[in-house]
Amino acid sequence: MPLPATRSNQGSPLPETMLAEIERRRAGLARHMARAVVMLVRWDDSTGAPPKAEAIARACEAGLDLFLATARDARPATARELREVAQLGILQARGSQSVEPVLAAYRIAARVAWDAILRSWRDHQEATPEAMVVTANYVFSALDQVAAEVTRTYLHAREQHLLRGTRARTRLFHSLISDTFDSELALQKQALALNLSLAAGYVSLVAKSEEPLSEQARQPELPAQALADSTDPHTLVVLWPADTERLEEVVGELLATLQARSGGRIRAGLGGSHPGLRGISRSYLEAQQAAEIGRKLRPDSPLHHYDEVAPSLVLAQNPLIAERYVAHVLGRLLAADAKGSLLETLEAYLGRGSVKEAAAQLHLHRHTVLYRLEKVRALVGGDLDLPSTRMRLQSALDLRKLL
């Protein structure tokens, strides 16, 4: 905005005598501005260590110098000049969690300076109301630009801080699940540097989604000392403190939340508890195996415990033995059941525990299920009501899915 000329100064809207008086009072006015900042701004832990009064006074002097220079030349402040005035606020903002006290300091300093300008104005009849409006525009436009510069610096610094913290947390998390740390003491020190408190031991949960997990789903709300990280777009790994009460209930609530947030189906595996932080990698491996094997054995179940699928896993690790066992238990049934209806009926019966519920699942008449089960008995041998027979058949069915 161009400044209107006055009789005493063709470049500035303010009388030269008034500018000279402000320049003469510059050091005292800067100290007055600094005292107001120190007294009225509330510095706390969120803003880091408050700046010293001498530094605030120097920043106020820089602000007054900028006002005098722009007023005399009838020009707006340059970006470089604004950055010099904003320098103290920028330095403070880089180490702060809140930028509001820093901005308040600039507002208070500008207010004190403006009051001083108005008091000087009354003694100079040459200063017109129009010039007063233009000058106010200079002062408070410069304040807005300084505040914007400080805010941009603060936001950039916070973003970089969060990124560094996120990367450090991710490295710590992956050190835990991969057992690539030197010692538990060194790991505890890393955690303290990130304001994290680690539990004595953890149980691992691996949750996999059919759809990519949303940002919200990858950052679940967790209890104290629990940790989480997304190892790929579809997988969330959560480390629960081993002493968590009602763990299964808590995990179930988390899986329900993930299901709602992701929109896709969630399947998860829960590893066992092993001593110390070194035991986390073993629990993580177990959770991965439980999720993968559980997906094949019980596709309708959202959560699979390693301890429950471990017998099938042990047998499946030796395919030759597993194939021999399946052939021994189910060989005749598989050979005679070209359409798979007998095998389907056997699975439903073992899974549901009764003819009535198996018939409901298969949408068949009860007599049809009984007829099929009689044919199964003749092919596999043994009494299907005996626990030993049912366990033998269930093990063979599970192993067949893993081969």
What is the pLDDT of the chain when averaged over all its residues?
Answer: 80
Largest CA distance in the chain: 118
pLDDT at 12: 61
Q: What share of the chain has pLDDT > 90, as a percent? A: 5
Number of helical H runs and strand E runs in the chain? 15, 5
Q: Where are the domains of the chain?
A: 16-160, 199-315, 318-402
Q: What is the pLDDT of residues 311-328, one digit of tens each?
A: 777 776 777 777 887 888
**Whole-model pTM?**
0.55
Q: What is the pLDDT of residues 321-362, one digit of tens each?
A: 778 878 888 888 888 888 888 888 888 888 888 888 888 888
Distance CA 322, CA 176 (A): 34
| DSSP secondary structure, 356-393, as one string | HHHHHHHT--HHHHHHHHHHHHHHH-S-TTSHHHHHHH
* Superfamily of domain 199-315 in the CATH hierarchy: Reverse transcriptase/Diguanylate cyclase domain (3.30.70.270)
Q: What is the pLDDT of residues 100-136, one digit of tens each?
A: 777 888 888 888 888 877 777 766 666 677 767 767 7
Sign of the torsion formed by the C-alpha atoms of 167, 168, 173 and 178: positive
What CATH class is the domain 318-402? Answer: mainly alpha
Judged against a pLDDT cut of 70, whether residue 248 lies above it is answered with: yes
Q: Specify the CATH number of the domain 16-160.
A: 1.10.490
Distance CA 130, CA 6 (A): 10
